[in-house]
């Protein structure tokens, strides 16, 4: 993947960079180990296209004053409301020295348990740590989840397909993905009552009614 991005040196600093953004220019910084820091301006449309393709782990040939410099897009700050890029940091690398960076995982295929048994795919990791020469760092690493054909199986870092030109540094036993069984919905059990289970309660007499009846009986006996 041969990606190139043109940049211009920049003298506008501080709060004045807001004027650049109004012209669809992104203020950027170039730095690296043993590299002098350079203030840069990037055309917004060009940068966004390159960033979509390269991400933060693919070498980009940055052209400054006609000179090519191998860089990673190291950090991007965006506006939380508009989502527009505010600033970008570019890190110049030494192509002869190995570096450690994070490479995203791409999940491909489909577990047979998802469709046939309602299983739920659990993506535990979304990236792994990789060591390699900058030119050999993979853009992404694929994870084939179709091998998850049993609820007791999982995919570990050790199961990922590595390459001869790079080494995965993340702990080999770390789980990358698994399938969990579907959750059973709790159903409310309503018991049907039989006639024998129903207690019939008679109408209670008002308070004092028994006493009144007893009084009347006594009065009748006294008259006779």
pLDDT tens digits, one per residue of 153-167: 999 999 998 788 999
Among 65, 93, 121, residue at a domain's last position: 93
Q: Does 118 have pLDDT greater than 70? A: yes
Q: What pLDDT, on the 0 to 100 scale, is given for residue 186? A: 45
Expressed as residue numbers, the domain containing 35 is 4-93
Q: Which of 68, 36, 70 lies closest to 54 in space, CA to CA?
A: 70
Q: Does 42 or 184 have the greater pLDDT score?
A: 42
Q: Does 220 have pLDDT greater than 80? A: no
The number of domains in the chain is 2
Q: Which of 37, 120, 43 lies closest to 74 in space, CA to CA?
A: 37
Exposure string (b/e) for 112-127, b if CB count within 10 Å is 16 or more?
A: bbbeeeebeeeeebee
| Residue 108 and residue 167 in one domain | yes
CA distance linking residue 203 with residue 209, whole number of Å:
13
Q: Does 134 or 117 have the greater pLDDT score?
A: 134
The pTM (predicted TM-score) of the whole model is 0.71
Residue 199 within any structural domain of the chain: no
Taking the CA atoms of the chain, what radius of gyration do you get in angstroms? 37
Q: Does 19 have pLDDT greater than 50? A: yes
CA distance linking residue 139 with residue 1, whole number of Å:
9
Q: Does 181 have pLDDT greater than 80? A: yes
| Residue 75 and residue 121 in one domain | no
| Residue 65 and residue 134 in one domain | no
Find the CATH number of the domain harbouring 81. 2.40.240.10
| Residue 35 and residue 77 in one domain | yes
| Residue 108 and residue 172 in one domain | yes
Find the CATH number of the domain harbouring 112. 2.170.120.20
Share of the chain above pLDDT 70, in %: 81
| Residue 136 and residue 81 in one domain | no
Residue 111 within any structural domain of the chain: yes
Structure confidence at residue 193 as a pLDDT band (50, 70, 90): low
| Residue 89 and residue 108 in one domain | no
Q: What pLDDT, on the 0 to 100 scale, is given for residue 2? A: 82
């Amino acid at each position: 993947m041969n990606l190139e991005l043109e940049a211009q040196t920049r003298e506008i600093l501080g709060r004045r960079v807001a004027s650049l953004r109004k012209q669809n220019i992104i203020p950027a910084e170039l730095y690296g180990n043993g590299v002098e820091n350079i203030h840069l301006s990037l055309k917004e449309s060009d940068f966004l296209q390159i960033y979509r393709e390269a991400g933060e782990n693919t070498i980009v040939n940055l052209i400054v004053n006609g000179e090519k410099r191998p860089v990673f897009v190291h950090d991007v700050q965006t506006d939380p409301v508009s989502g527009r890029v505010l600033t970008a940091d570019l890190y110049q690398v030494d192509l002869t020295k190995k570096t450690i960076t994070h490479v995203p995982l791409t999940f491909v295929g489909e577990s047979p348990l998802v469709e046939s048994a309602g299983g739920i795919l659990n993506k535990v990791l979304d990236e792994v740590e990789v060591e390699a020469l900058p030119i050999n760092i993979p853009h992404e690493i694929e994870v084939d989840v179709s091998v998850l054909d049993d609820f007791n199986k999982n995919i570990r870092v050790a199961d990922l397909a590595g390459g001869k030109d790079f080494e995965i540094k993340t702990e080999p036993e770390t789980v990358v993905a698994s399938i969990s069984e579907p959750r059973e919905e709790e159903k409310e059990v309503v018991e049907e009552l039989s006639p024998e289970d129903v207690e019939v309660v008679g109408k209670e007499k008002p308070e004092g009614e028994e006493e009144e009846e007893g009084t009347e009986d006594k009065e009748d006996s006294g008259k006779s």
